[in-house]
Amino acid sequence: MDNRRPFLYDAHVALGAKMVPFGGWEMPLAYQGGTVAEHLACRRDAVVFDVSHLGTVRCEGPGMFDALQDTLTNDLRKVAPGKAQYTHLLNDEGFVVDDIIVWWYSETEFDVMPNASNTSGVTAALPGVDVTDQRCVLAVQGPQARTKVAALGADFAEVPRFGVRRFDFRGVEVRVAGTGYTGEDGLEIAAPNEVAEEVLAELVAAGVTPAGLGARDTLRLESALPLYGHELSLTSTTLEARLGWVLGWDKETFRGRDAVLAERERGVARLLTGVVADGRQPLRDGGEVLVDGASVGVLTSGNFSPVLERGIGLGLLSGDLTPGTPAVVSLRGREIPVTVTALPFVRKASSRG
């Protein structure tokens, strides 16, 4: 089956993007400046990512609060309308079907934002409508994101972290959340297709650097944010990823609750752990991690950190390894010396996407 093209495909090509397959879509990998330059622009200034490959499931009507509350792991009672919340959808065995952001607008209106290839799993679990094809989502991220997004209107810059707002833009309603997936402050703008190209053009004109999925991945990795299909999957759990705070233990129910309760009581066998290479050699997922010659697991993600100028990697590793523990990553016939490190690798204003 052919990959889907985002609505802004031609705009990205005109900006010099290299388009690649990702999650069933053709998305920008990088623009002419390259991934490292885009990564550093996000850490120092502001960039814009097209993340329209992420899904939007619109859940409207009476009973929607209860449907989300009874199905997803986090407790919506911790927040309120006008807020976004990070949460998980589990299966009955307690494994992760997806990690999700919920944008909560009013008592009966929510946008549930799953990962690229998981929208059907969410629509199967929740009584919502897939509106992914009707809008584009542009993520503006970086320490200057709010200053530069004000070019679209002063109200955009005032959306608080994990806040959700709706604005009129050129006569069309756009939805904005103070969320992201880079570890930096920023906003995600869900713009109907009819104004999406105008939103992107105005952001670029305001000095926001277009950035692709390559930089988005290295940014989230430096910030130790899990990626579905890597740190989170149908063979891993929320507790293994050190994300127990998204489990609403005070709720009577959520899907998979009994399984993760049993896991909590017996203790987890693996934990999300970070390692840093002694040199610039990029680490890669699938690399086997050895401590004192014994395997403790494999890396789930790895790359080169433009900020640390070292290879970095995440893995679900056995034992609660202490930061500073020396280890080796066996990768493609090479043994790369690494050190277990505290997470995140680069500490910023962390957020999910």
DSSP string, 35-100: HHHHHHHHHHS-EEEE-TTS--EEEESTTHHHHHHHHSSS-GGGS-TTEEEEEEEE-TTS-EEEEE
DSSP letter for 208, please: P
CA distance 116 to 297: 27
CA distance 64 to 78: 16
Pairing state between β 294-305 and 334-341? unpaired
Token digits of residue 341: 């490190």
Among candidate residues 132, 106, 123, the one with its CA nearest the CA of residue 71: 123
Among candidate residues 343, 339, 269, the one with its CA nearest the CA of residue 311: 339
Residues carrying CATH 3.30.1360.120, the chain: 9-55+132-222
Among candidate residues 265, 260, 274, 255, the one with its CA nearest the CA of residue 314: 274
Residue 320 identity: D
The parts of the chain modelled with pLDDT lower than 70 are 1, 349-353
How far CA 246 is from CA of 76, 100, 111, 202, 277, in Å, comes to 10, 11, 18, 36, 30
Judge contact between 116 and 49, C-beta under 8 A. Answer: no
Determine the pLDDT at residue 23.
84
How far CA 341 is from CA of 105, 146, 223, 305, 324, in Å, comes to 39, 31, 13, 14, 6
Triad 138, 180, 347: Cα angle to 5°: 140
Q: Which residue has the tokens 């970070």?
A: 274
Superfamily of domain 244-341: Aminomethyltransferase beta-barrel domains (2.40.30.110)
Burial class of 163 by CB neighbour count within 10 A (0 to 12, 13 to 18, 19+): middle
Residue 296 identity: V
Residue 192 identity: P
Residues carrying CATH 2.40.30.110, the chain: 244-341
Q: What is the pTM of this model?
A: 0.95
Question: At the topology level of CATH, where does 9-55+132-222 sit?
Answer: Gyrase A; domain 2 (3.30.1360)
Give the dihedral sign, CA 65/70/73/78. positive
Determine the pLDDT at residue 1.
61
Among candidate residues 311, 310, 307, 316, the one with its CA nearest the CA of residue 332: 311
